[in-house]
Amino acid sequence: MNPLRKIYSRIYQTGFRAAMPLLPYREPEIIDSTAKTAQLLKKLHISSVLLVTDSFLRNSGITSALEESLKQNNIKCAVYDGTCPNPTVHNVEEAREVCIKENCEAIIAFGGGSSMDCAKAVGARIAYPNKSVNQMKGLLRVLRRIPTLIAIPTTAGTGSEVTITAVITDSEIKHKYTMNNFTLIPRYAVLDPEVTFTLPPSLTATTGMDALTHAVEAYIGRSTTKETRRLSLEAIKLIFDNIETAYENGSDRTARQNMLRAAYIAGIAFSKSYVGYIHAVAHSLGGQYNIPHGLANSVLMPIVLEEYGESVHGKLHKLAIAAGVSSESDTPKDGAEKFIQAIREKNRRMNIPEAFSGIRKEDIPQMAKHADKEANPLYPVPKLMDAKELEKFYYKVSDWSKQ
């Protein structure tokens, strides 16, 4: 990256960090059981809701208990279950039409990050009926309050139940982007481990590593605070201690509860301290090839951390100590290497691949430009890189580069 752009990026990030304490960040009210959702709605005098979920969850009957509870409490429930793994503008518009047609007063997001992101964007479209989703991408474009949003995460990963972010894909131009607005934080988050019991091992692994990515990037960036560092360290310890147990035994309530807690607090940490190039590159891969976000983050994380080099050695050493894979007596470089290796070993034990098939060399420059535009100057990364420098990551996660 050229020197003038570096200076501009760091000045921008410093200004944003200074303004952060003045911004209206809030945390949702936590509910500990899905069964209490109907009671909450009655308390709020809400009689009609839109349930945003996906067809897999609905067809497997995971949403049925909630739907029946709403029915018994005379709360009308319209359902949109067309959300795809990387929610699209089309998904948002379809769900919005259902919401308007059924006169829904609130929105329940039931599922992983995709359902929550879709529901957030629906809320934004309701608040701004004359703006397209694409017109609301970026930072602080949604200032009006959206309808009451209740998030019920069925994965422990994205932290979307507590974040300002919604990630949407424009499938026509194969571009994945973020909407970052404080109004998108759900009003309520239902952290119920029982709805995560049936999550398949592969998704348990990749969504859990997604949460780890949030905690790591929040910690190593240049906009950390005492609070976000504390939350990141707690999340990293919880994930290292519980993710493989949840992967191997999905009905382990303690492990599932701890992973939900980790995803939640990692979400708070990255909402306040932001993420970095792992996310930016992962979003571009998701937009171009529909690679699930958690999977992309899992594969990219050790590669990007390695590329940051000595700029993160000290911080990664502290994370390694929190994770229990290093000691105070290690040098920062050794501690950082042990942490990166521990991530690779977790990926391997949970059958997460090291690379992706289908990445085309001719697509790489455009994806790198998307990642550059998303990350710079906003993300307070430890080491700045431009589009040309970011191209190396796409080569490193391509299966043909391993041959």
- pLDDT single digits (tens) 36-52: 999 999 999 999 999 99
pLDDT at position 22: 86
pLDDT band at 328 (very low <50, low <70, confident <90, very high): very high
Cβ atoms within 10 Å, residue 294: 29
pLDDT in tens, 335-359: 999 999 999 999 999 999 999 999 9
pLDDT at 169 > cutoff 80: yes
CA neighbours closer than 13 Å in the CB half-sphere of residue 41: 32
- What's the average model confidence in pLDDT over 64-85? 96
pLDDT tens-digit series, residues 294-312: 999 999 999 999 999 999 9
* Mean per-residue pLDDT over the chain, rounded: 95
pLDDT bucket at 403, cuts 50 / 70 / 90:
low
Q: What is the pLDDT of residues 78-96, one digit of tens each?
A: 999 999 988 999 999 999 9
Asked whether residue 393 carries a pLDDT value surpassing 90, the answer given is yes
Tell me: pLDDT of 172 over 90: no
Go through 354-381 and write b for each residue having 16 or more CB atoms within 10 A of its CB, e for each that does not.
ebbeebeeebbeebbbbbbebbbbbbbb
Q: How sure is the predictor about 400, in pLDDT bands with cuts at 50, 70 and 90?
A: confident
What CA–CA distance (Å, rounded) separates 47 from 287?
A: 37
Q: d(Cα 304, Cα 291) in Å, to the nearest integer?
A: 18
